[in-house]
Amino acid sequence: MSSPVSFAEHEKYCLITLDDGKANAVSFALLDGFNAALDQADGTGKPVLIKGREGKFSAGFDLNVMGQGGEPMLNLLRGGASLSQRLLSFDTPVVLQVTGHALAMGALLLLSADYRIGVRGPFKLGLNEVAIGMTLPWFGIELVKHRLAWPSQERAINLAEIHDPDSAVTVGYLDEAVDTERHDTRAIEVAEHFSTLNMDAHKGSKLRTRASLLEALEQAIQRELG
């Protein structure tokens, strides 16, 4: 069975593509492939561009696993939380090319990256956990508190407020939204621009900026998942 994640190194950036042929659910297989691709990117000194499949960035955690409850569910939550920690503290800039819907854990991935470029269209972005009968995990609440605009935080968590790409820019899920024909070009342009940064300075500044968030995430993971 092929991995739902592929890796390619380009001259100025590394490209990680998420494509499980369906909704890009965050499954154990996707987490394994994602982390393996980040392992390949680590040490290149290049920004990382993470791209979804057309129309779908990620629909969130694999509901087949979440519905089992117990240890499988907790292990998947741990994996997702650890991925957020890794992206937030990655040595080089992390750019997301948000190719469509980004819901639940998919939206939390948006809150874990350095720069997010959405594509305009009939796409839904946000945290729909309450709408589908789930309580947002503690690490997700910390991501929202630190990275979404204040007036929208409780609506995101408690009321499952969902956004189109342009309003997602306003509240902080995205940094910009562009038309379809510019999406690939713009994502590459941003990744290549970030390659001009001093990566040691970038890493040091990022860790200082996110010190309180990373500490809060670690406490949230211990509180809920041990």
- Hey, which bits of the chain come out as E strands? 5-9, 14-18, 48-51, 55-58, 94-98, 100-103, 115-119, 125-126, 162-163, 176-178
pLDDT of residue 1: 59
According to DSSP, residue 207 is labeled H
- Whole-structure pTM over 0.85, yes or no? yes
| End-to-end Cα spacing for the chain | 32
The pair of three-digit structure tokens given for residue 47, joined into one six-digit string: 């920004």
**pLDDT classification of 194: cutoffs 50, 70, 90:** very high
Residue 224 has pLDDT above 90, yes or no: no
Q: What share of the chain is helix, strand, coil (3-state, %, to 5)?
A: 50, 20, 30
Residue 225 has pLDDT above 90, yes or no: no
Q: What are the CB-based long-range contacts (under 8 Å, 24+) for 204-207?
A: 206/88, 206/89, 206/114, 207/89
How much of the chain exceeds pLDDT 90, in percent? 96
- Name the least confident of 15-24, 60-69, 144-153: 60-69
Residue 76 has pLDDT above 70, yes or no: yes
List the CATH code of the domain at 5-224: 3.90.226.10
14 neighbors 7 (Cβ within 8 angstroms): yes
- Name the least confident of 26-40, 59-73, 104-118, 204-218: 59-73
Quickly list DSSP for 5-54.
EEEEE-SS-EEEEE--SSS--B-HHHHHHHHHHHHHHTTS---EEEE-BT
Distance CA 91, CA 204 (A): 9
- What is the pLDDT averaged over residues 55-84? 94
Distance CA 58, CA 132 (A): 16
The pair of three-digit structure tokens given for residue 109, joined into one six-digit string: 């991935």
**pLDDT classification of 67: cutoffs 50, 70, 90:** confident
